[in-house]
Structure 1
């Protein structure tokens, strides 16, 4: 809940500031074209990466393995795709970083550390 303020107020304000700066620097139409292009490219990349992740998870399940890494990949791809469809340069950069496999590893590590901390605090209980 402490990050809700950040998500609702600060990020959109920063996005608007960057968009205004971009519109002033390179012009309104090039800025709009860049925003539309990142949305289209992002949707394509999210679809491609998502399908690969689903195939990998299915293959792991066929071999009796738990697809933990594939699930985290899928979550990163979902969030990255949503960020790329959101207009703005800051969210686009974050979305692309979440879609590319080499940089996605850092986000997965952050997610794993967050989950581990919640388990240690007792906020998440594992039932066996």
Structure 2
């Protein structure tokens, strides 16, 4: 990822979040704004915990059946990212975090990542070597 994207992400996103929180504060007041941020953090943490435990169970089941649990592991990473986004104060990160908790959204992201990986392999950016015994 180029440096200017990282700068935009780590500087621009908090500025956008603050601006949105100030707008919300102006519309509904201080206490409701703080309660909303606290509620999304607590509710998000509970949902992430529940989905994370379920995903660990699915990974264990796949491994017990001698299957590679790649989709479940990718989902697990997305659930972990959702948790980080949901405990970060802000409305934009909350929307992104809650979106990652929707299985359909995770599935779409997984397919997109797969397509990107296949494209990079086809273009020669990534090379895969398989050693066979």
What is the TM-score when the length of structure 1 is the normalising length?
0.89
Structure 2: 5+ residue stretches without partners: none
Query: What aligned pairs does 1:36-75 form with structure 2 within 5 A after superposition?
Result: 36-75=38-77
Within the candidate set 75, 78, 82, 1:76 is matched to 78
Contact 1:76 1:107 in 2 (8 A): no
- Structure index of larger Rg: 2
Q: How big is the shift at 1:26?
A: 0.7
Task: Determine the structure 2 residue equivalent to 1:99.
Answer: 101
RMSD of aligned alpha carbons: 1.6
Could you tell which deviates more after superposition, 59-68 or 96-105?
96-105
Deviation digits for residues 41-100 of structure 1, max 9, x if unmatched? 111111111111111111111111111110110011010110000000000000000012
Structure 1: 5+ residue stretches without partners: none
Contact 1:81 1:99 in 2 (8 A): no
